């Protein structure tokens, strides 16, 4: 027998190291454990623990054209399948797109209804809720972002509506007029509100943000002045609820026809300049730029240059082990080591449409 | 202090059941509690550790000696800790986490807590109640209702009869 019963503070330390699913089961132990496990302070502590010491996964969801409706979690180092979790029944027949993943919460939107039907879901505790944006708008294109603001322990979704102009310009592209409406959802208040901005010179905003860092959500976008359009990174600070812009690194010298992908590489804002498969100049390289000091444009550093045979259809995610996972010209998922340029298949079939996000299990939204 | 005099200093620790242990000061000061006593000059004679029994203290000293013999290599320290804890049962681990907490040894505290969490992960609710000495204060109806809310978390749980 234990010579003395463990005091509550030690029990809390131990429990905060357990997987979310185990804690959900241990709500049955007694009333005080149930209260502890739903306590926001404990949930936050558990989340921090899991994020730093717990298991990280790459989440692989087969989307459209698939009857395999499960979240598949891959070990983030070996890429072996670690576990599978069924989708909540209510989401089963929907084809959705992952807007973002943060502290165990996923923000999903129905693919055909991008930005109109939005869900928050915690697959590890199998809870989800529908977040209905307040306004219906037609002839608009939505961009979404999802993130966590640590100061207030709140989760926010940002929706930017850009009006599509029916007229085509001389290059036969639809003109996108400036964003017409910006709305922010807060999980804490469980409500949407409109954000008033006097000046919003950005257009062509990426549909969903791939980069959550420094309490800000980032999208690839274009700064539109009267004379020219400049490719930039648009950022939204979740505390101040303001937009600002970060200049991209000057990668013009890296070659022609480079596309950019915005992401987070080992905790820093990163830009991957790559060649699309279609117009791939075989002799040229792709480059990873990292902003060493957040917000300081002069700190953009070209960290790696790699050659990707066959080009890239879409970069998907950077791993913590100096790798990039991308979809190649054969529409297969590949992993490229950025230091050695070694390319290996991910070993996961890329059927239909796919999202890979890093994911840590948590108790967030256990209480709905 | 050992580093100043050039000769290794030995401390004598006394458990709450009056067992005496000799340990090199350089290993013992992994415990912030003991280090503070040494720095305050209270370590001249025997250091009484009122919250730790002899069996647990012997184990903690084995750990102190083992880990301090490893040079600054976090990988090797981690594998030593894993091996050190691998054959300990729940009761021993519980005693050790209490001792580590009292002695203020954060590296041992973290390792033992993580080990206990690992042991608990697949255990049943009944096992946890017995091992932690917790009384079930739910009515059967309430417990059934709490269980029903997240029934799936009871899949793959170890059976209850593994002591």
Beta strands (DSSP E) in A63-173 are: 70-75, 81-86, 96-102, 105-110, 118-122, 127-131, 140-149, 154-168
Residue of A nearest to B144 (CA): A28
Across the interface, whether the CB atoms of B129 and A11 are under 8 A apart is answered: no
Res. A177 pLDDT band, cuts 50 70 90: low
A24 vs B109, B143, B150: nearest CB: B150
Q: To the nearest whole angstrom, how far is the Cα of B136 from the nearest Cα of chain A?
A: 5
Across the interface, whether the CB atoms of A22 and B125 are under 8 A apart is answered: no
pLDDT at position A346 = 85
Choose, out of B49, B91, B94, the residue to mutate when testing the contact with A (most A CBs < 10 Å).
B94
pLDDT at position A3 = 42
b or e along A155-171 (b: 16 or more beta carbons within 10 Å of the residue's beta carbon)? bbbbbbbbbeeeeeeee
Residue of B nearest to A367 (CA): B149
Residue of A nearest to B127 (CA): A29
Instruction: Flag whether pLDDT at A10 surpasses 70.
Output: yes
Instruction: Flag whether pLDDT at A353 surpasses 60.
Output: no
A2 vs B113, B133, B146: nearest CB: B133
B134 vs A3, A4, A30: nearest CB: A30
Question: Where is mean pLDDT largest: A6-15, A157-166, A316-325?
Answer: A6-15
Residue of B nearest to A49 (CA): B114
- Six-digit token pair at A351? 């059927």
Q: To the nearest whole angstrom, how far is the Cα of B116 from the nearest Cα of chain A?
A: 7
Distance CA A351, CA A66 (A): 8
Q: pLDDT by residue (tens digit) across B137-160?
A: 999 999 999 998 888 788 878 776
B153 vs A2, A15, A21: nearest CB: A21
Query: H-type helices in A26-168, by residue range?
Result: 31-37, 40-53
What value does the mean pLDDT take over residues A232-242? Answer: 95
Q: Are B102 and B51 in contact (CB under 8 A)?
A: yes
Q: Are A30 and A135 in contact (CB under 8 A)?
A: no
Q: What percent of chain A has pLDDT over 70?
A: 86
Q: To the nearest whole angstrom, how far is the Cα of B52 from the nearest Cα of chain A?
A: 10
Domain boundaries of chain A, sorted by first residue:
1-54
Distance CA A311, CA A174 (A): 27
What is the domain class of A1-54 according to CATH? mainly alpha
Domain boundaries of chain B, sorted by first residue:
2-120, 125-154
Q: Which residues of B touch A (CB under 8 A)?
A: 53, 91, 94-95, 97-98, 101, 109, 113-114, 116-117, 120-122, 125, 128-129, 131-138, 143, 146-147, 149-150, 152-154, 157
pLDDT at position A284 = 74
Across the interface, whether the CB atoms of A2 and B131 are under 8 A apart is answered: yes
Fold of B2-120: Potassium Channel Kv1.1; Chain A (3.30.710)
Choose, out of A6, A8, A25, A89, the residue to mutate when testing the contact with B (most B CBs < 10 Å).
A25
What value does the mean pLDDT take over residues A228-233? Answer: 90
Measure CA of the first residue to CA of the last residue in chain B; give whole Å: 47
Q: pLDDT by residue (tens digit) across B70-109?
A: 888 888 999 999 999 999 999 999 999 999 999 999 999 9
Instruction: Flag whether pLDDT at A309 surpasses 70.
Output: yes
């Amino acid at each position: 027998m234990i010579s003395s019963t463990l005091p509550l503070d030690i029990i809390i330390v131990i429990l905060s190291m357990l997987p979310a699913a185990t804690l959900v089961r241990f709500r049955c132990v007694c009333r005080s454990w149930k209260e502890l496990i739903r306590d926001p302070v404990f949930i936050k502590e558990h989340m921090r623990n899991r994020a730093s010491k717990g298991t990280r996964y790459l989440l692989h969801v087969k989307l459209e054209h698939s009857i395999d409706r499960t979240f598949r979690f891959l070990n983030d180092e070996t890429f072996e399948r670690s576990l599978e979790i069924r989708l909540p029944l209510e989401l089963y027949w929907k084809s959705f797109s992952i807007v973002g993943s943060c502290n165990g919460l996923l923000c999903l939107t129905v693919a055909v209804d991008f930005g109109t039907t939005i869900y928050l879901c915690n697959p590890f505790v199998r809870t989800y809720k529908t977040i209905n944006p307040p306004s219906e708008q037609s002839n608009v294109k939505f961009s979404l972002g999802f993130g966590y603001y640590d100061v207030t322990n709140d989760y926010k979704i940002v929706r930017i509506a850009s009006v599509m102009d029916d007229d085509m310009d001389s290059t036969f592209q639809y003109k996108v007029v400036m964003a017409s409406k910006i709305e922010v959802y807060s999980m804490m208040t469980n409500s949407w509100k409109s954000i008033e901005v006097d000046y919003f010179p950005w257009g062509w905003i990426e549909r969903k943000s791939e980069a959550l860092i420094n309490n800000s959500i980032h999208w690839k976008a274009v700064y539109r002045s009267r004379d020219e359009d400049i490719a930039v990174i648009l950022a939204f600070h979740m505390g101040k609820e303001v937009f600002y812009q970060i200049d991209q690194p000057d990668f013009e010298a890296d070659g022609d026809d480079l596309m950019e992908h915005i992401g987070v590489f080992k905790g820093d804002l990163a830009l991957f300049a790559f060649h699309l498969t279609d117009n791939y100049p075989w002799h040229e390289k792709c480059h990873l730029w990292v902003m060493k000091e957040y917000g300081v444009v002069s700190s953009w550093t070209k960290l790696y240059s790699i050659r990707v045979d066959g080009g890239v259809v879409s970069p998907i995610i950077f791993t913590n082990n100096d790798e990039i996972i991308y979809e190649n010209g054969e529409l297969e998922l590949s992993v490229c080591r950025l230091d050695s340029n070694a390319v290996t298949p991910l070993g996961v079939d890329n059927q239909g449409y796919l999202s890979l996000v890093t994911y840590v299990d948590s108790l967030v939204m256990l209480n709905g | 202090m050992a580093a100043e005099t050039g000769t290794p200093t030995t401390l004598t620790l006394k458990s709450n059941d009056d067992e005496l242990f000799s340990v090199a000061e350089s290993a013992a000061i992994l415990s912030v509690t003991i280090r503070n006593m040494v720095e305050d000059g209270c370590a001249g004679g025997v250091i009484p550790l009122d919250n730790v029994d002899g069996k647990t203290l012997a184990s903690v000293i084995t750990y102190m000696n083992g880990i301090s013999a490893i040079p600054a290599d976090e990988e090797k320290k981690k594998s030593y800790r894993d091996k050190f804890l691998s054959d300990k049962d729940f009761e021993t681990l519980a005693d050790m986490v209490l001792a580590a907490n009292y002695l203020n040894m954060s590296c041992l505290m973290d390792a033992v807590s993580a080990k206990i969490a690992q042991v608990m992960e697949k255990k049943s609710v009944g096992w946890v109640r017995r091992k932690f000495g917790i009384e079930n204060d739910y009515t059967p109806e309430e417990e059934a209702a709490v269980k029903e809310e997240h029934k799936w978390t009871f899949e793959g749980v170890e059976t209850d009869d593994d002591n």
